[in-house]
Structure 1
Amino acid sequence: MRQEPALARVAFDDAVRWESPVQTFFRTATTDVRVGEVVIPEGRKILMLLAAANRDPRRWADPDRFDLSRDPSGHVGFGMGIHQCVGQHVARLEAESIVTALARRVRTIALDGPTVRHHNNTLRAWESIPVQVQLA
């Protein structure tokens, strides 16, 4: 069995992979670049679909399932390369602390009404998630 902090880290990273907060962003090709059989000309905008990449079945077994037994490293929920989030390590430490504290103090967390999404073309967020908490 995994220790709580390790499981908390896996839970956070698979949640970021599974429900990518940043869904899309644009980049501009700085040179002609071939992607598969298509050439993207220099200066053209390219729409990157992070959520699609994080659910790619060529990379992830059963990608539509939240899975605490998978190794979620390699997702692009925090970007990649020179465009990766500089705060991702702080986010992971904060999430580990919060999830671990919740696991020690809370027996169950259950939905307590309908959820409402915050609609945005780029970010995936919630306007409200009503929950009922039963303390341990």
Structure 2
Amino acid sequence: MWQRLRERPELARVAFDEAVRWQSSVQTFFRTATTDVDIAGTRISAGGKILMFLGSANRDPDRWADPDRFDLTRDPSGHVGFGMGIHQCVGQHVARLEAEALLTALASRVGQLALAGEPRRHLNNTPRSWSALPVRVLPAD
């Protein structure tokens, strides 16, 4: 991936959005129906709770071809890793700019990131994160 980013730095933004789609940092959240509503043939009464699975939506095979594959050739726009509609993350544009700057800078210096130990997930039902992710950075040639 690093070589591709060196050759095509515009892929940094695609790589970030594909990573957010592929491994959504927020996996689930609840919403409360404000009125009676039918969703896919199921009635949700006003005041009823709706649990949304963003991680699942971002892997929906009806929306994404080969959804379990990390693919820098796909257009990852339309993922819901930053929410959607009025519930969008207001900082998503800053996050994209920061990630693009970071990935572009790393691509000029890094040849490979390699695991240097056993990764451990931080167990939580909502945010997806790591309690440990030891990596070794190998320089670019």
| The two structures share one fold, judged by TM-score above 0.5 | yes
**2: CA distance, partners of 1:85 / 1:53:** 17
Match of 1:102 among 94, 98, 106: 106
**2: CA distance, partners of 1:106 / 1:11:** 15
Q: How many Å apart are 1:3 and its aligned residue? A: 2.4
Partner of residue 116, structure 1: 120
- After superposing on structure 2, the runs of 4+ consecutive aligned residues of structure 1 that deviate more than 4 Å are none
The one-letter code matched in structure 2 to 1:3 is: R
What TM-score does the superposition give when structure 2 sets the normalisation length? 0.93
**2: CA distance, partners of 1:41 / 1:10:** 39
Q: Could you tell me which runs of 5 or more consecutive residues in structure 2 were left unpaired when the two chains were aligned.
A: none
1:55-134 equivalences in 2 (<5 Å): 55-134=59-138
What TM-score does the superposition give when structure 1 sets the normalisation length? 0.96
Sequence identity, in percent? 69
The one-letter code matched in structure 2 to 1:59 is: R
Q: How many Å apart are 1:72 and its aligned residue? A: 0.1
How far does the alpha carbon of each residue in 1:6-51 deviate from its partner, in whole angstroms, 9 at most, with x for none? 2010100000000000000000001111111111011101101101
Q: How many Å apart are 1:134 and its aligned residue? A: 1.2
Partner of residue 8, structure 1: 12
Partner of residue 36, structure 2: 32
Q: Could you tell me which runs of 5 or more consecutive residues in structure 1 were left unpaired when the two chains were aligned.
A: none
**2: CA distance, partners of 1:107 / 1:10:** 19
How far does the alpha carbon of each residue in 1:57-103 deviate from its partner, in whole angstroms, 9 at most, with x for none? 00000001110000000000000000000000000000000000000
